[in-house]
């Protein structure tokens, strides 16, 4: 029979009402110390006096950390109840309670090695090489270690001088490699300077091996080679050319260029017309650079001028259809410093940088519609892009809405677009091959994804269908109208004329083509010569 004691009597009295209680509950009710209650509960569970939850309960709570303020942590704990006679396990309050067994022991019960200890022992036993954090998580996955467990514990060991951690280093901070941070053991038996030097060499060797197999690093080196090659030929090179040479996405190309400029200070950048970025190598002389800049400026004046013309013309297309088919639409207008800029283009103010835009971002049109006398107005925000649209473009538009002063609002779920604000993205076409994987693992199309984000998609084919239903020939499309029109006013005039006399659509296109042939004569010649 177990020996009676004041501690034992107090704890059993606290559990006498047969209601499950945690360690904290018992400490509070009995007034005993935490250590006394903890050791007693473990002893009671082992001898069969109480039952304990089969698995620990995890609860999120805030903890005050002095000058660091409150931090949110996840606290695991067990709850206990007196063991009914003749029962080794039972279910109560949605929890399964069990008697003592080695298989139910966890770190708090002294029966298992903690994740922190597993990680430390792994690094200590495998000290001959450096490991990426993802590799450590994979090696210890069978023991319950997850990727998020690695760095949280490694940082503590780093502060204690036990391990060396290495990542990408920039002027202001350090960021992880694609596979995570690189980590290796620091031999505590050797002089500190020597042990640290060996750790650095191990990470350098591991990085060199990884560099040869990393697609990202290969792209970074190719960026430098492409820029050097173009400079030797006396030319500047732009992002689009680099992307085509790398055979990767726009986002991947931009990432490789950014990293190349961080690693190689001999790569230089020049901005033409304060808008277009081109790159060259510092080996290019001043005379050659000046000639290359002039040649590229001439190209930009013609080709980029054409792209801007067609892109602005495209903005007029959805605007025209909205004007014609939306009852009561009231467009916003705004005065601009730049001459010739359409007053219906709206500049939004950002409270957080979005996609390289620090303080402001432009949207192509904003209009309001009031459904009824007592209904709140609905605000539509339009963004247009001439060409193929990917998920990244849609996400960027959504971020602009969220972080704009005019259309964003803070909510308990984070920054969101205000209620009554609907984004509309108009494009030539949307990438049919790009699927979007949701958090639940399901994959949806880009239009379905946009719909979930409360963004409507308008395609050129939608506008063409309206024209063809009106009786316009199939050969007449909004794409052709955008290409032949001189400016937005002409797009609207052509659409008005074609809508009134749809059978004369081809004739109207032909007349505009003849009238503006001087405008894009050189554009065509340059395009054919390249």
pLDDT digits (tens, 9 = 90+) for 505-526: 999 999 998 888 777 665 555 4
Q: Look at residue 291 and tell me if it is in a domain.
A: no
391 and 398 Cβ atoms separated by less than 8 Å: no
pLDDT at position 526: 45
Task: Give me the CATH number covering residue 259.
Answer: 1.10.10
Does residue 300 lie within any of the structural domains? no
Report if residue 48 sits inside a domain.
yes
The answer to whether residue 398 is domain-embedded is: yes
Burial class (CB in 10 A: 0-12, 13-18, 19+), 450: buried
Domain termination residue (choose one: 213, 243, 259): 213
Based on the domain organization, do 255 and 362 belong to the same domain? no
Judge whether 295 lies within some domain.
Answer: no
pLDDT band at 492 (very low <50, low <70, confident <90, very high): very high
pLDDT at 34: 87
Answer with the residue of higher pLDDT: 397 or 443: 397
Tell me the C-alpha distance between 33 and 50, whole Å: 19
How many whole angstroms separate alpha carbon 296 and alpha carbon 235?
A: 8
Residue 155, domain CATH: 1.10.10.10
pLDDT the model gives residue 393:
86
Q: Which two tokens stand for residue 80?
A: 């206990």
224 and 208 housed in the same domain: no
pLDDT digits (tens, 9 = 90+) for 345-372: 899 999 988 876 778 888 989 999 887 7
Q: Residue 210: pLDDT above 70? A: no
Residues near 369 by beta carbon (within 8 Å), at least 6 away in sequence: 326, 327, 328, 329, 330, 377, 378, 380
Same-domain status, 368 and 441 = yes
Question: What gap in Å lies between CA 398 and CA 449, rounded to an integer?
Answer: 12
Report whether 477 contacts 494 (CB < 8 A).
Answer: no
The DSSP line for 487-513 is SHHHHHHHHHHHHHSGGGHHHHHHHHH
Indicate whether 23 and 124 sit together in one domain. Answer: no
The pLDDT of 128-132, averaged and rounded, is 89
Does 238 lie in the same domain as 313? no
Any idea which residue has 């040649």 for tokens?
295
Q: Span 95-119, mean pLDDT?
A: 74
Beta-bridge partner residues of 50: 82
**pLDDT given for residue 529 in this prediction:** 43
* Chosen domain end from 169, 192, 213: 213
Residues 422, 317: one domain?
Answer: yes
In this structure, the answer to whether residues 135 and 185 fall within a common structural domain is yes
Q: Is the pLDDT of residue 99 over 50?
A: yes
Same domain as 450, residue 418: yes
- Is the residue at 279 inside a domain? yes
Is the same domain home to 49 and 16?
yes
Report the distance separating Cα 291 and Cα 81, nearest Å: 85
Question: Which pLDDT value is given to residue 499?
Answer: 94
Q: Which residue has the tokens 């800029």?
A: 341
**Pair (325, 409) in one structural domain:** yes
Domain of 254, in residue numbers: 216-284
Which residue from 458, 507, 468, 454 is spatially nearest to 319, judged by alpha carbons? 458
Q: Does residue 293 belong to any structural domain of this protein?
A: no
CB count within 10 Å of CB 466 equals: 14
Residues 4-21: pLDDT tens digits? 678 888 888 888 888 899
Residue 265 lies in a domain: yes
CATH number of the domain bearing residue 425: 3.40.1350.10
- Report residue 429's pLDDT band, with 50, 70 and 90 as the boundaries: confident
Range of weakest confidence among 82-86, 94-98, 386-390:
386-390
Strand pairing partners for 436? Answer: 444
pLDDT tens for 378-427 read 999 998 888 788 888 888 899 999 999 999 999 888 888 898 899 998 88
Quick one: 336 and 478 in the same domain? yes
Q: Tell me: do 374 and 319 sit in the same domain.
A: yes
Structure tokens at 423: 């984004």
Count of the separate structural domains present in the chain: 4
Final residue of a structural domain among 82, 109, 136: 109
Residues of the chain above pLDDT 70, percent: 91
């Amino acid at each position: 029979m177990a020996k009676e004691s004041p501690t034992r009597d107090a704890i059993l009295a606290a559990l006498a009402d047969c209601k499950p209680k945690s360690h904290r509950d018992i400490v509070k009710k009995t007034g005993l110390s935490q250590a006394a209650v903890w050791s007693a509960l473990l002893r009671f569970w082992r001898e069969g006096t109480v039952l304990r939850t089969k698995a620990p309960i995890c609860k999120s709570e805030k903890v005050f950390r002095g000058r660091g303020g409150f931090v949110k942590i996840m606290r695991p704990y067990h709850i206990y109840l007196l063991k009914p006679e003749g029962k080794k396990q039972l279910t109560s309050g949605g929890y399964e309670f069990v008697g003592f067994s080695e298989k139910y022991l966890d770190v708090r019960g002294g029966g298992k090695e903690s994740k922190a200890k597993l990680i430390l022992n792994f690094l200590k036993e495998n000290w001959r090489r450096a490991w990426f954090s993802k590799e450590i998580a994979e090696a210890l996955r069978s023991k319950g270690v997850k990727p998020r467990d690695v760095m949280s514990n490694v940082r503590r060991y780093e502060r204690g001088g036990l391990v060396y951690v290495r990542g990408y280093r920039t002027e202001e901070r350090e960021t992880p490699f694609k596979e995570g941070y690189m980590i290796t053991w620091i031999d505590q038996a050797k002089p500190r300077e020597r042990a640290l030097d060996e750790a650095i060499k191990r990470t350098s060797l591991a990085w060199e091996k990884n560099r040869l197999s990393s697609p990202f690093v290969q792209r970074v080196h190719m960026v430098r080679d492409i820029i050097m090659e173009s400079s030797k030929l006396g030319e500047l090179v732009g992002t689009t050319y680099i992307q085509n040479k790398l055979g990767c996405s726009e986002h991947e190309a931009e990432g490789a260029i950014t990293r190349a400029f961080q690693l190689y200070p001999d790569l230089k950048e020049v901005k033409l017309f304060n808008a277009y970025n081109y790159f060259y190598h510092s080996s290019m002389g001043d005379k050659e650079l000046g000639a290359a800049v002039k040649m590229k400026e001439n190209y930009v004046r013609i080709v980029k001028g054409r792209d801007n013309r067609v892109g602005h013309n495209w903005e007029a297309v959805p605007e025209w259809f909205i004007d014609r088919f939306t009852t009561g639409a009231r467009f916003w207008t705004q005065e601009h410093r730049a001459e010739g800029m359409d007053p219906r283009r709206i500049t939004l103010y950002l409270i957080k940088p979005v996609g390289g835009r620090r303080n402001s971002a432009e949207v192509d049109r904003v209009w309001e519609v009031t459904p009824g006398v007592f209904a709140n107005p609905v605000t539509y925000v339009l963004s247009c892009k001439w060409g193929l649209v990917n998920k990244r473009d849609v996400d960027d538009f959504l971020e602009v809405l969220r972080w704009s002063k005019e259309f964003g609002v803070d909510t308990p779920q984070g920054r969101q677009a205000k209620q009554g604000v609907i984004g509309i993205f108009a494009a030539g076409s949307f990438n049919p091959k790009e699927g979007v994987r949701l958090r639940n693992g399901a994959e949806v199309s880009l239009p379905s994804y946009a719909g979930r984000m409360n963004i409507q998609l308008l395609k050129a084919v939608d506008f063409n269908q309206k024209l063809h239903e009106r009786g316009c020939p199939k050969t007449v499309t909004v794409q052709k109208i955008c290409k032949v029109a001189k400016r937005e006013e002409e797009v609207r005039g052509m659409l008005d004329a074609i809508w009134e006399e749809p059978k004369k659509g081809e004739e109207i296109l032909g007349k505009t083509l003849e009238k503006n042939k001087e405008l894009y004569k050189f554009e065509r010649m340059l395009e054919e010569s390249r």
